[in-house]
Amino acid sequence: MLDIVSQAVGRIFADENPAIEQMNDGGRGGEAEVIYHQDGRIITNNHVVARDDARVQIMLADGRKLNAKVLHRNPRLDLALLKVEAEQLKALPVGDSSQLRVGEWVFAIGHPWGQRWVMTAGIASRIRSVKLADDLTTQYIQSDVGLAPGNSGGPMLNADGQVVGINAMIFGGDLSVAIPSDVVKAWLAELPRRRTTLGVEITTVELPVAIRHQLQPERHTGVMIVGIREERQAHHNDLLLGDVVLEVAGAPVKGNADLLKLLAESEERNTILLRVLRGGQLVTLDVATVMRERNM
């Protein structure tokens, strides 16, 4: 019987390992992530991402290193959604955490204390509801699975190798806490299905000295349009290659992250006011936005 159990646990580790990543955001490092979908969507903890414009690099079990962008963060639930562009990604099967029972075997795979792809085991000891705020009550899975720094954001698996939680923290010695997979699913379902874009490719550039002094507040960089996507070309001709975006709705734009953040705050607008540098002149344009569907 012990041999059968040991072989089953070994299969879980071998099967699920390719869908678990190690993350480095430039300041932290060694935390875990879960490939949630083959299209490159990744789930981890909010507290390991740090900020919306974090430069995140992930390492796959096959040795590939990929850059990831932060799509959404939820500090209250301690969840973050990232995205990478890559082929041949393996996603972990997601289970129903409501079916998890106290006493069931659960497993964690992560990178405790920097040791890569380590597996630990334990039993589910409690599923508790916690009131985080007047408007938010959520659930956590408590277990005696061994966790350490480096396990955050990694999966809690059931005996079938399905993700039933995202490991989040440790309380009081051996008490480990995971965010149930049903909480993750509910959060993803609530995310906006559409986002406001300009339908362009961009890059951060240095501004001419003469232009810097004309801006308030003074700044050294802006965002140049280096490509216009098909969805914009088909309907609008108000932006040109080489335009440098300096402001969105009166707010300064110093780099790509500023522009993306300001557009995200302008959801569902049909037009938006931009101040751009065009042909050496500062001009103000009321440009059409482009709505893109999110794949959630």
Per residue of the chain (296 residues), what is the pLDDT tens digit?
Answer: 445 445 655 676 676 666 676 877 655 556 788 998 888 899 999 988 877 777 788 888 888 899 998 888 999 999 999 988 888 888 889 999 999 999 999 999 888 887 888 889 999 999 989 888 888 899 999 999 988 888 899 999 999 899 999 999 876 556 789 999 999 999 988 886 666 788 899 999 999 999 998 998 899 999 999 999 888 888 788 999 999 999 998 899 999 888 888 887 766 567 889 999 999 999 999 998 886 655 54
| pLDDT on residue 56 | 86
Give the fold, CATH level 3, of 18-84: Thrombin, subunit H (2.40.10)
Tokens, residue 79: 């969840």
Active-site residue, selected from the candidate residues 97, 143, 152, 181: 152
In CATH terms, are 18-84 and 97-190 the same topology?
yes
Tokens, residue 9: 């646990």
For residues 50 and 30, the answer to whether their CB atoms sit within 8 Å is: no
Active-site residue, selected from the candidate residues 25, 72, 78, 182: 78
> pTM for the full model?
0.64
CA distance 185 to 96: 10
What CATH number has the domain spanning 194-293?
2.30.42.10
CA distance 26 to 53: 11
Buried/exposed code over 257-277 (b: 16+ C-beta within 10 A; e: otherwise): bbbbebbeebeeeeebebbbb
**Residue 119: Cβ within 10 Å count:** 18
CA distance 268 to 53: 22
Active-site residue, selected from the candidate residues 15, 47, 144, 236: 47
**Domain parsing of the chain, residue ranges:** 18-84, 97-190, 194-293
What CATH number has the domain spanning 97-190?
2.40.10.10
| pLDDT on residue 177 | 93
The verdict on whether 78 is a catalytic residue reads yes
The verdict on whether 47 is a catalytic residue reads yes
- Nearest CA-CA partner of 58 in 36, 27, 84: 84
Considering Cα of 116, then 28, then 156, then 18, what sign does the dihedral take?
A: negative
